[in-house]
A and B are shown apart, each in its own frame.
Chain A
Amino acid sequence: MHLTRRDFGKVLVAGISELAVLHAAREARAQAHPNANRSLINGVQFGLQPFCYHDLPMIRENRGELIRRLVRNGMGMVELHATWVEPRFNDPGVSAAAARDKLRAWRLAPSAGYYRGIRKELDDAGVSVFTYYVGFDESYTDGEIDATFEGAKILGARGCVGSFGQAVSRRLVPFPGRHGMFIGLHNHDNLSDPDAYASEASMVTGLSMSPDFKMMLDTRHFTAADGDCVGFLERHHDRMVGMHVGDRKKHNGRSAPFGEGDAPIIELLRIVRDNRWPIVALLEFEHGTLRPEVEEVDLMFDYCKRAVV
């Protein structure tokens, strides 16, 4: 092949132009659509459980970095853990009980406009809070539960999600309805704990407690617990608000990159797409990677996008 100087110049310019276009496209993707629909792909609303950013401690001081990463990953929706919002009082020398009392007092009387300020940070970045993840347990007073729902509502959340079991769920029955919100039940995979949400039967029991209880099905945990994710979606889609989308191997197997485990992610997403069900797909993974987590989220999100386009 004979390459003239002019040909070589053209190749070089074309290569540089392509790089510039790719860079511009990536920047545009990050800036465009300043609303939740940034991650609405072919009718399926995606979002992120920021636990995926394993290197980023979930504390309110890191919230700015969290929002930057969400935008960088093209996410317009998030499940926000309360620790990204609330202060911590467990300073050295402060007992756990004293720290808990201080946190309760803070929750009952947050400073004026506190939650609105955070909502503005998220709105300005075009990120919507779908659910507020709260570790409700026996230590919460009624007033604290109400205050938490109030704060979540100001943040724009449609419901509160947590990893509590059936006993705590019973206690929570009266609360979501008062605030026009839902409680999202989140399953894990401990089949030996009768209080836990792990089997389909246990989740049906939880859902039967209140019409305000909805399912946030965790596909990783349900797969590890040998559950039938597709069957669950078919049978209970009208009680589901979202899925934590991730992959694991069956029989209490390990976490795996999307497509390398036993969770039927592609089939689940296509069922949601083709039936136009309003079930939000929140990416959440726990598999290891040597890449920066932002790159890993990109890869897993690409896997999901390819499933629904």
Chain B
Amino acid sequence: MRRLLTLACLVTFAASVGAQTAATHRSYDEQFIGPVLSDPVLQHAKETFVLFGCAYCHGLNLVSRGEATDLMHSALVGRDENGNRIGPLLRAGIPQTAKLSPMPQFSDLSDQQIAALVTWIHYARQQGRYQELTAASVRRGDATEGKAYFDRACGSCHKADGDLARVGSRYDAAGLRAALLKPKTLERERSFTLERRNDKAFAAAQQRHHALLENYAADDVANLVAYLGNLKSETP
């Protein structure tokens, strides 16, 4: 008898847990918010973006609705570094505007919440810009323009006669394009081990390439591919 009751209790408990899980699942609007991301930091950032109503005007994936600013192509977002431009704007709002509804101010949010919003805006923009750039028709670029862009934007970290010497021999145009938009070595998740948590060089490189991805024009990519494709010997 006691075993029977224990079994029944276990079944009831399991059913109750199952029901709670189902209820939790029902209360997460996957159709609107999308599936839960594997990276909990990004998932939290996405949920913060939804919870404070940003997604309804600017679009969850930055495809803006109505009169809201297009964050996918906003110059201010493109120039932002770790929220140094977006953060103050969120706190103050834009009360003076020609639009029907001014951008609200979010002065009551914590620094962590502002950081989460900034994280999502940049992540979503990177995903969107990557899609735009990979969907753009491929055209032959101008190697001279590409060199000028390289010297301006890439030269502080890379050298045509150093780490990128002969890169044109190792990759075809498609490979160069893919490596430019999403360098594989920078795609790993951030480690929180004590040894690697403060790997500033990696973090800086990752941030720099993400910033480039957010701001590349299709012509910039074509020109860079043309320039790097010419690097087939030790001396450019």
Contact with B along A246-263 (1 / 0, CB 8 A): 001101111100000000
Report whether B29 and A253 are in contact in the complex, using a CB–CB cutoff of 8 Å: no
Chain B residues near A287: list those with CB within 8 A: 53
Is A155's beta carbon under 8 Å from chain B?
A: no
Is B149's beta carbon under 8 Å from chain A?
A: no
Q: Which of B49-104 contact A (CB under 8 A)?
A: 49-56, 93, 95-102, 104
Report whether A292 and B105 are in contact in the complex, using a CB–CB cutoff of 8 Å: no
Q: Which residue of B lies closest to A287 (CB)?
A: B53
Chain A residues near B4: list those with CB within 8 A: 5
Q: State the Cβ distance, B152 to closest chain A Cβ, in Å.
A: 37
Contact of B5 among A5, A54, A224, A252 (CB under 8 A): A5
Contact of A288 among B53, B98, B105 (CB under 8 A): B53
Report whether A192 and B97 are in contact in the complex, using a CB–CB cutoff of 8 Å: yes
Residues of A within 8 A of B (CB-CB), count: 32
Bound complex: CA of A221 vs CA of B104, how far in Å?
Answer: 10
Q: State the Cβ distance, B29 to closest chain A Cβ, in Å.
A: 4
Report whether B101 and A188 are in contact in the complex, using a CB–CB cutoff of 8 Å: yes
Report whether B102 and A190 are in contact in the complex, using a CB–CB cutoff of 8 Å: yes
Q: Which residue of B lies closest to A53 (CB)?
A: B32
Chain A residues near B99: list those with CB within 8 A: 190
Report whether B105 and A251 are in contact in the complex, using a CB–CB cutoff of 8 Å: yes
Report whether A255 and B104 are in contact in the complex, using a CB–CB cutoff of 8 Å: yes
Report whether B51 and A289 are in contact in the complex, using a CB–CB cutoff of 8 Å: yes
Could you count the A-B residue pairs with CB atoms below 8 Å apart for me: how many are there? 86
Contact with A along B24-52 (1 / 0, CB 8 A): 00111101110000000000000101111
Q: Which residue of B lies closest to A54 (CB)?
A: B56
Contact of A193 among B1, B27, B98, B106 (CB under 8 A): B98
Bound complex: CA of A253 vs CA of B26, how far in Å?
Answer: 30
Bound complex: CA of A283 vs CA of B169, how far in Å?
Answer: 64
Report whether B108 and A253 are in contact in the complex, using a CB–CB cutoff of 8 Å: yes
Contact of A248 among B8, B27, B29, B104 (CB under 8 A): B104
Bound complex: CA of A189 vs CA of B101, how far in Å?
Answer: 6
Report whether A291 and B28 are in contact in the complex, using a CB–CB cutoff of 8 Å: yes
28 contacts between A and B (CB under 8 A): A5-B1, A5-B5, A8-B8, A54-B32, A54-B55, A54-B56, A163-B100, A190-B101, A193-B98, A196-B100, A248-B104, A251-B105, A252-B93, A252-B102, A252-B104, A253-B108, A288-B50, A288-B52, A288-B54, A288-B55, A289-B50, A289-B51, A290-B27, A290-B29, A290-B33, A291-B28, A292-B26, A292-B32
Q: A3-B5, A253-B108, A289-B51 are in contact. List 5 more A-B contacts (CB 8 A).
A: A5-B5, A188-B101, A192-B102, A253-B105, A295-B26
